Amino acid sequence: MPTSRPIQENTVRSSPGLTTVIGIVNVGVMIVAVVALLVLPFSGGSPEPRRAAPSPSASAAPASPAPVAAATVESARKVKANELGAIPVIMYHRILKKRRASIDRTPAQLRKELERLAADGYVPITAAEFAAGLIDLPAGAHPVVLTFDDGHPSHFALDSSGTPKKDTVVRIIYDVAARHPGFRPVATFWVNDHPFGLVSHDRQAAAVRWLVDRGFEVANHTFGHPDLHRLSGKKVTEVIAREERLLTGLGAPASSTFALPYGSNPKKRATARSGKWKGTSFHFQAVFLAGAEPAISPYAKAYDRYDIPRIQSNGKKGECRKWCSEYWLGWLDKHPDRRYTSDGDPTHVSMPRRLGSKILAKLDRVKIVY
């Protein structure tokens, strides 16, 4: 049964003047106590400009940043900006027409949840963008991080025309983005030794390139998906570095984020953050857990980049009664003052006055309080 800690009140967006302070360590346990949502502030590099949803078959070319009006006390108050607010990082596994395990979701369930997020004003960002503080959203919008573990075939595959297959994760994301132009079609895929169920190196490389070229993140989830707590420190380093060698060999950028298999930390937690094995090194800016509450803003004092919680996508039955996505998205709807809401300006961090002391000290010069 998962354990939890109170959610802090802070969330901020980064810009050229902000410094990335995010990372994550896996606690791998779910929460069984009432959590108080707090919003935390953080800083990062220059935010990525908002982009229109590209065609599933088109190569994505980064758009030029559009001029953004500077936020003011009045504009921040008008949209009730809170960039120290809580951010849902949602965890998915297999997407199957018929669920075989409690953590599986059907294509219809995934589509329904993404439609809900889009209708509620959420805009996807990748885990890497979250960890770097690159949260550049329209005023009034809320960030959400969509994460898919294990690199299952249901996540990504192309049909004979080179378009993502029906009912795969990528196709569903693009379908929702087509209906909701503000819903940015990106996600994070943390994969193992056979990305997306593919065996040949060429097909794996083609899949990774397709996703990376279109703004998706493909990153490290270990080679083989072992329980890291059961391994020696040397073996932990090996299974992470082997996966890193595989991914960079397939054309993926060096992984800046890492999701712990089973949410299980190694005995010495630092071994899941950086290391070197047979000439291959890894160094993660953030480590993500397996559950079970919204994440603290990367701009907050309370933010811990090596201990970033996620929310399992699921209904409200059994253990999920209070700890999965249906519960938490409803909770955030009922407590909008605890949710990250953008001021529309990536060069400032806006928040209600009660949260002014929660922001990282280095961001004081760019904060707006109202």
Q: Chain-wide mean pLDDT for the chain?
A: 87
pTM, 2 dp: 0.86
Find the range with the poorest average confidence among 1-10, 90-99, 111-120, 208-217: 1-10
Coil vs helix vs strand at 345: coil
List helix spans (H) across the chain.
73-78, 107-119, 127-132, 169-179, 201-213, 233-249, 325-334
What is the per-residue pLDDT across 339-368, written as a single tens digit (0 to 9) for each?
999 999 999 999 999 999 999 999 999 999
Vertex 10, ends 136 and 21: CA angle to 5°? 65
Report d(CA 47, CA 314) in Å as an integer: 31
What is the per-residue pLDDT across 290-307, written as a single tens digit (0 to 9) for each?
988 999 999 999 999 999
Q: Are 288 and 24 in contact (CB under 8 A)?
A: yes
Report d(CA 189, CA 271) in Å as an integer: 22
Phi, psi of 318 (to 5 degrees): 55, -135
What is the per-residue pLDDT across 44-64, written as a single tens digit (0 to 9) for each?
333 333 333 455 654 443 444
Report d(CA 262, CA 255) in Å as an integer: 19
Report d(CA 301, CA 166) in Å as an integer: 43
Q: Which residue has the tokens 């209904």?
A: 315
What's the confidence (pLDDT) of residue 14? 39
Nearest residue to 258 via CA among 243, 280, 245: 243
Find the range with the poorest average confidence among 46-55, 142-151, 261-270, 357-366: 46-55
Q: Are 301 and 39 in contact (CB under 8 A)?
A: no
Q: Do you find a cis peptide bond into 292, omega within 30 degrees of 0? A: yes
